[in-house]
Amino acid sequence: MTLINGINKVITFIGGGNMARSLIKGLLSNNYNSNKILVSDPNATKLQQLQHDFGINIQLDNKTAAAKAEILIFAVKPQILQNVAVDLAQIIQNRKSLIISITAGIRLQVLQSWLGGYKTIIRSMPNTPTAVAEGMTALYADKTITYHHKKLATAIFNSVGRFLWVENENFMDVITALSGSGPAMIFLVIEALQKAGEKLGLTAESAQQLTLQTVLGAAKLASLSKQDPSQLRKQVTSPNGTTERAIEALESGNLENLFSAAVLAAKQRAEEIANTYTRK
């Protein structure tokens, strides 16, 4: 039994992009009522595809969709959220919906101001593996949000993976860098491993199959083990063995420093984006 059971509210998505699609798929996979899901988007073709794939309700007009929402999820790009939010502010205040933002870089206080001081808002940072129900979502809310509101948000994101509540909004920029950008960094590692195998004579298909299952298995082992990843690494690194030689080669290239620099760069960019909208 999942946390989504027992919730019977109209969930309206403003924006029908990839993340909205992932969340809808997760909700329906956990037996949420498709008649309780509504998506608004200016792209009629996108809406029709969502309706075809999931049997949900669709709407071209944001205001009409927002007027029906008990839970409203902003799933639009940062550069258009201000106009969308301001346009819906009065309806949201009248409707008293729970607002969940999955838009990266928009701080809670900024969104509250765009909604005319409305405070029933939860900020979230899901990542792309939500598409396969293996996502990681960070959630933040201020003290005005009730336990009931948190439970609703938790249920939604639990349907597409795992979640973590953070107490300090500043951590959202770190999480955006680590968890939001992290999948792309792992994809880069997968590319590098696969290319290494190909250079040593494996076919592209074989190298890819070996790499993907190795990464998947390692991640699952680390996730299920009670041991720290460093301990798991040491267990498989026999003295004078092949793995020890591989680790030495990676460490000689300052791999840890490279990842630290990558996460820091992403965090700084997240802060830059957030500050851009804070000044508006």
Q: Is the predicted pLDDT of residue 200 greater than 50, yes or no?
A: yes
Give the helix/strand (H/E) hosting 73. strand 71-74
- Quick one: tokens of 124? 């979230």
- Quick one: tokens of 39? 């998506």
Per-residue pLDDT at 2 = 45
> What's the helix, strand, coil split of the chain in %, to 5?
60, 10, 30
Share of the chain above pLDDT 70, in %: 97
Per-residue pLDDT at 1 = 34
Q: Check: CB of residue 130 under 8 Å from CB of residue 161.
A: yes
Per-residue pLDDT at 278 = 73
pLDDT tens for each residue of 168-197: 999 999 999 999 999 999 999 999 999 999
Which residue ranges form the domains of the chain, and what is each CATH number? 11-167 (3.40.50.720), 182-270 (1.10.3730.10)
